[in-house]
Amino acid sequence: MSESSSRRSFFRDLAAAAARALPDPTPVEFVTESSQPLLNDSEMERYSRQLLLPEWTELAQLALRDASVLVIGAGALGSPVAAYLAGAGVGRLGIADSDVVEISNLHRQPLHFTPDAGAQKAESAAAKLRFLNPDILVEAYPVYVEEDNVRGLIAHQDLIVDCSDSFATRHLVNAACCAAGVPLVEAGVVGWSGLVMSIRPGETACYRCAFPVEPEHAPSCAEAGVLGPAAGVIGSLQALEALKLLSGTAPPLTDAFLQVDLASLEVLRVAVTRRADCPDCGPG
């Protein structure tokens, strides 16, 4: 036997020994299934930039596709929130708003344009969102969210994003979400000040734990004014929280709210603990 054939024989025996030491090979069928992309080509292209994030897996994208989210309010906060959630691929997106578009809305509500003046905001917003992402289902609810309909609106939703502009509505939505166990992102903006808070009912402090009493006189945007980009910052933070809650890719802002001074750009994270006597999330 030549030296080279002896060496080949040695390596062949070594390879055979190594193969015997390996566990049984994985069934071919399993490899084929698991290597199939979970998203189709169109989805891969549309969501490619968020899929590049190491945390944002195809499973995270599927979680969004399977999610039903209701955005309450299609105004200054609701416009960026709904646009980002539609763009990101939330599969079923509801928009509730009873107002009509006014020219004075347009500087801060970028889902509505001048020709939309007089149109229902929910319908105006839904029309733009369907252009933005035709692969998702967008539902318009041109109704005022109140005691009689709030439970029906939040039923079967995976997440509520409250973009309403009054303490009374925020308390109403918070109470309904706590009762139904539906996660919620709250936010508000007026003047140069905004805040954001995420809530997992029964697990983390709720909006009423943070703000138990409605202020006697909380100024509205119509009274105190607001700049469009200021509302855009808070709405973007709210959309970011919604994506975190839906995908599980980053820790949401729970048991705390973020207070943002949009003039100085100082940000304060205020810790909130659950109140045992909270009428919304307490043991009752």
Query: Interface with Zn ion by CB under 5 A: which residues?
Result: 206, 208-209, 278, 280-281
Judged by CB, which is closer to Zn ion: 39, or 176?
A: 176
The phi and psi torsions of 9 (rounded to 5 degrees) equal -65, -40
| H or E, element range at 63 | helix 58-65
Judged by CB, which is closer to Zn ion: 112, or 208?
A: 208
* Residue 253: CB minimum distance to Zn ion, A: 16
Judged by CB, which is closer to Zn ion: 39, or 278?
A: 278
**Residue 233, Cβ neighbours under 10 Å: how many?**
18
* Residue 196: CB minimum distance to Zn ion, A: 17
Residues ≥6 apart with Cβ < 8 Å to 256:
197, 205, 269, 270, 271, 272
Judged by CB, which is closer to Zn ion: 196, or 209?
A: 209
Judged by CB, which is closer to Zn ion: 119, or 180?
A: 180
* Residue 51: CB minimum distance to Zn ion, A: 36
The phi and psi torsions of 37 (rounded to 5 degrees) equal -65, 140
* Residue 270: CB minimum distance to Zn ion, A: 15
* Residue 81: CB minimum distance to Zn ion, A: 23
* Residue 272: CB minimum distance to Zn ion, A: 9
In this structure, the strands spanning 137-141 and 184-190 are unpaired
Distance between start and end Cα atoms, the chain:
88
3-state DSSP: the chain helix, strand, coil percent, rounded to 5? 45, 15, 40
Judged by CB, which is closer to Zn ion: 206, or 246?
A: 206
Instruction: Return the bridge partners of 188, or none.
Output: 195
Distances from the Cα of 197 to the Cα of 57, 174, 200, 205, 220, angstroms: 25, 11, 10, 10, 19
Q: Rounded to whole angstroms, how far apart are CA atoms 55 and 53? A: 5
Q: Rounded to whole angstroms, how far apart are CA atoms 60 and 269? A: 27
* Residue 276: CB minimum distance to Zn ion, A: 9
